[in-house]
Structure formats: C-alpha cells, structure tokens
Structure 1
Amino acid sequence: MESKILRVKKCGVMTTVQSEKSENGVLQKRTLVLQELGGKYANSYVVIALGNLATIEWGENQLVVADLRFQTHEYNGQVFMDVVANEIVKL
C-alpha cells in the first residue's frame, strides 16, 4: 500500500455491483481519476473506490490523501492491474 497526496481529476458515477464478499450481495463502486501533484503531465491513476468510500462525491481538482493498493489479476490469459483505494481523505 502507498499513501499519496493527489488531485481529483474525474469522479465517476456510483454504481451497484454484485459481490459475494458483501453482506447483502451488492456493493457500491465508483471510479476516480487521481493525479499526482506536479503539473499537467504528472502520473495519473484510475482508482476504484468500494463500499462506503464509493458513496462520497469527490469534487474536481480537490486535494486528497489516498491510501492505494496496487494488485494484478489474470483473466483469459491476460494480466490486468487494479488500483483500489483503501482510504481517501479530503484535505
């Protein structure tokens, strides 16, 4: 896990997805684009927020501290990287 100060570039719409890991079988999910500080060409991450974290509406250009988890998974012989937000706090 890695904590970073980031800027919210985009905040997607919250959706509900099926999840066997959730108590009631559904889980809230939101996709965010977060960018490191340092200008127009700084690194950006497409981040998934799950559960209660997904219910928060994040403002564009808002500064946040995010605890990110980087993980990979394989699907149909291809490897994909997921960036999941464990915690996001507004500054």
Structure 2
Amino acid sequence: MDRIVKIASQKAVVIFSKSSCCMCHAIKRLFYEQGVSPAIHELDEDSRGREMEWALMRLGCNPSVPAVFIGGKFVGSANTVMTLHLNGTLKKMLREAGALWL
C-alpha cells in the first residue's frame, strides 16, 4: 500500500493499468484527449504488480485496474472516471490538481 501511495503522489494524474486491458486503454486515451499527460504504471510489467493489484482492490477498486489517482487521491476505476467526465466534474478535478490549465 505504501508503494501505491508513493507512486500516486508523484504526478498530478497517475493511472495504474495493465497493458492488455481494454478499459485501461480507453481511460488512458480519455486523459490524453483532455490534454493531460498521466503517469502510467503498468502492473503487469512490475515485479511487485500482483501485490499492488491486491492493495488497489483493498482500496475499493474492483476490478483492480484501471485505478486512477488525481492529486494523489484515489478517484476510482473506469466507471467512476467516465461518470465524472460525463457530468463535467473531471475537468474541474484536473484543473485543481494542476494537470490541466485551460
């Protein structure tokens, strides 16, 4: 859990992902299209990825990926992020975290 917190606080937007996950790809693309350059941490490419995956699930992320952190705070997985995007809240959160300036 400490490693997740440390990684999540290193950039305004951090996405824990798996390179083979289609929903992860969709969420990463959503952020890129918003003009945000998130830090992407691929769990399937990390030797401790399985351990971090369990920690994300304990945070309430089910499925474990994609797990999105904005401003160092856990936001949620794909459903939550898409809901925030559709209701306009995501852009506000990104501005407040310093990930978006417009």
If each structure's helix is expressed as a fraction of its own residues, which one has the higher value? Answer: 2
Determine which structure has more spread, i.e. the larger CA radius of gyration.
1
User: TM-score, length-normalised on structure 2?
Assistant: 0.22
TM-score scaled by length of structure 1: 0.24
